[in-house]
Structure 1
Amino acid sequence: MDLLLLSNSTSDDGYLVHAADAITELADGQTEALFVPFAGVTRDWDEYAAQVREAFAPLGIAIRSLHEEKDALAAVNAARLILVGGGNTFRLLQVLRQQGLLAPMAARVRSGAARYIGWSAGSNLATPTIRTTNDMPVVDPGGFDALGLVPFQINPHYFNVLVPGFRGETRDQRLAEFTTMSPATPVLGLPEGDWVRVSDDRYTLHGAHAARWFLGTQTWDVTAGALSLPA
């Protein structure tokens, strides 16, 4: 099983530019990818697909967008490289569940028949549930269970900045609420510019910033390199 789970898509360099080498490595010579645009809410799916096509063209990868396919299930079952974009995770999960595509997509990736690249909401989707997304629940997805391709939760765009005068909860406090209710479930806070590369049962953290594990009442930081999953 091969996955690339990015915290974010945009940077000062452009759209997905910071991860171009990692995407090329994961693609492993594939020249076509199936893009899932369903996390787009205020962003039109046609426009979203066009943006991704433009970003992947320099990498030699042509994009087919799932919303344009006449038979979505057949497209998923034939895909060798699946891209799941960011946006609203609740909307993404809702559409995939409504179309009956969650289980086929998970099976395709787990079998090794397709490789998976997700960013932001797309990384949330790869985890057991979407309960550690930062997104507002703008729709009812019919349940929180996601693809379950990795055995831990991800919190993309992770940061724990203390803003003077701000009285709301920090990101760490929000994640502590999750781990209080689910103390046996690890959560990886994944900062901007970082990603996790999954190759079978090997996990590697990439990026300039320390990520943070949350498990029960414990937290600890990890830097780039082999990523050991909390026991």
Structure 2
Amino acid sequence: MYEDEILIEDISVWQTQMFTVNNPQHTQQKQPLLDLIYHIKSQQSQAIESEVAPTAKRALYESNLDLLDQPDPAIQELRLFIEDMITMVASSVNQEFWPEGAEAQASIVESWFHVTEHGGYHDTHSHPNCSWCGIYYIDAGECALEDRNGINRFYDPRHGADQYLDAGTAYLNGTGTWDFSAVEGQIVIFPSYLKHAAMPYFGKQDRVIIAFNSQVNFI
């Protein structure tokens, strides 16, 4: 059809990467973490102790933003593990853009728990003043992906990318969202600009997570 060879180059731009990792110590750490979380919860003077966006949350308890600063051994072990995982993630995504030989280290700058009760949810939001965020599912309760019970929903950051869909744009996610199953012991790591929500949760058992924000700096 064409006399000369045609070369079409595939250029991927504006890629958003998310990562999951299972905590290998989850079985041993789960109960000590739950004990600490419920102890702190019992001492709170209000449901949203952080006082961050209380009207965006319903039927859940949120701690202050220093949970992983607690001296508890299980907390400190978990913090080191998460910071190592974020460092690996940040390095894999960014190392080719760093100065030659540069190394970086992630530090958790904010961390808190959510204890979500029957009918609880957290409206759509993103996390400022950090680069990588995460959610650690301590106890998934009765969360289920098939009926979207208590799952985390992430929103396509390419606003308007799917405003028109035909055979030429079928590769785009037509819904503009990605629903994430709550898997006990799993940590989801994602860039801070991604808007996300905790969808309404229904169950007799609490849904318990630890969330965190991090910054990554050169050593």
Question: Normalization by structure 2: what TM-score?
Answer: 0.26
Please state which structure has a larger fraction of its residues in helix.
Answer: 1
Q: Return the structure number with greater strand share.
A: 2
Between the two structures, name the one with larger relative contact order (CA 8 Å, sep ≥ 6). 2
Higher Cα radius of gyration? 2
| TM-score, normalised with respect to structure 1 | 0.25
